Structure 1
């Protein structure tokens, strides 16, 4: 059964991402005094403390570098590689440093995540789908919060998947895809 992770706000730089039971709980924070750095933290349910899983360095509101698990910052375009496709259909590939490769593609207003096998081919079925928030009459209050529906097989790579999704959403908001 798939997990549904809800995004509490439309702002991808300051929000909480969690499932219904809060067993999966992430906090995304970009402090006003440090607006160039977005931090993604996961709540450890055993210790009730937060573990930093990723940092996104921003410049003029655009992501420029990513760091996972306290490692060195890597250029965002090298970490989340854009692959030009047919008829201007692009995709963004990344790996989770565990040998798993993934690819985000645009599917209407949604983003779909597919696995990539050793031959470089995408899996036929999406393993995660991001549904953006919906607003009343396109400008008013949010009528449906954004959410990510993810298959159980992809939950082991959830940290990297979420950071890649946040980077993509920041790029979409700045129209720099």
Structure 2
């Protein structure tokens, strides 16, 4: 009898910078590569581009208009998509940093904080097992250069790998709101 199959290790998607408006998000082997960019000539629109390794093309998968404002809007599918208010896409939690969004398959996911770190869980999961876990950057002596970039540990669940575009867009919206409320306190 063969031994049981080992569980796949989580995908580690690493951020290149700490900015929410200009960074790249990649796997270690570069099979998945997302670019989050805000051009200076369109300073109000943040685009989430996905790099296709086979065709060597960047495709815009989502856009966020007014990420740094109080009422941002989101559009999926490039120029053919419809703008929706960020409050309709992500239902924010009133008491805590976090919110709930729906994946294309209709599954509800929720961003929550656990010990100061953002985690993504299925809204209907009674165990609240994290599907994606955000790890913030670390610095040498808390001030110098980064010793470790921030990253996501994403469980290799098929429905979440299909919804990575929405995961990234929702994370940017929830994190921007969390950073803004932390400054206002």
The TM-score with structure 2 as length reference comes to: 0.84
Partner SS state of residue 40, structure 1: strand
Q: Residues of 2 paired with 1:106 and 1:167: CA distance?
A: 14
Shift of 1:90: 5.2
Of 25-34 and 53-62, more deviation after overlay is shown by 53-62
Q: Distance in 2 between matches of 1:129 and 1:138?
A: 22
Q: After the TM superposition, which parts of structure 1 deviate over 6 Å for at least 4 consecutive aligned residues?
A: none
Choose from 14, 17, 30 the match for 1:9: 17
Counterpart contact for 1:61–1:174, Cα < 8 Å: no
Q: Deviations over 1:9-61 (max 9, x none)?
A: 01111011000110010001001121100000111112110111100111655
Q: Are residue 104 (structure 1) and residue 111 (structure 2) matched?
A: yes
**Could you say which structure has the higher strand fraction?**
1
RMSD: 2.0
SS of match in other structure, 1:102: strand
CA distance in 2, matches of 1:147, 1:136: 17
- Is 1:136 equivalent to 2:140 in the alignment? yes
3-state SS in 2 of match to 1:17: strand
Structure 1, unpaired ranges of 5+? none
Unaligned runs of 5+ in 2: 1-8
Contact (CA 8 Å) 1:131, 1:146: kept in 2 or not?
yes
Matches within 5 A, 1:111-150: 111-117=118-124, 123-150=127-154
Matched, 1:77 2:81: no
